[in-house]
Amino acid sequence: MAEQGLSQNNVLSEQEEKEAKISKLQGLLKGRLERKEELVPKEGKGKYNITVPVVFEFLERVKEKKTIREQKLEQMLKEAKDKQLEEINYRVTVNSVPRSTKQPLFQ
């Protein structure tokens, strides 16, 4: 029995040693990763120190302008809207009834 207790203690101590080694290695790895992350410049090139593409200025100006098709479409829509408003706001002027229609002709 004493031998079994010693063998169980040996197994437990071996497991504890493995766990201690694993935790120590994880701590070292974490420290190395943090140190490497600090070495990488964070400004301009991103996390992995790669070149970030920048849009040329002339492309940005083109985005601000509307295409000819968009301009014509807006113009057509504006004309149609103006025409509708003109028809809605049109007032019919009524002429007075002529006297000849009010006078009896056959009496």
pLDDT, one tens digit per residue, over 49-102 is 677 777 777 766 656 678 899 999 999 999 999 999 999 999 989 999 988 888
Q: Is residue 95 part of a domain?
A: no
Q: Is residue 106 part of a domain?
A: no
Long-range Cβ contacts of 62-70 (<8 Å, 24+ apart): none
The verdict on 65 and 37 lying in the same domain is: no
**Distance between CA 47 and CA 35 in Å, rounded?**
14
Q: How many domains does the chain have?
A: 2
Q: Is residue 32 part of a domain?
A: yes
**Residue 64: domain span:** 55-89
pLDDT value at 46 more than 70: no
The verdict on 64 and 36 lying in the same domain is: no
The verdict on 33 and 64 lying in the same domain is: no
The verdict on 34 and 61 lying in the same domain is: no
**Distance between CA 25 and CA 13 in Å, rounded?**
18
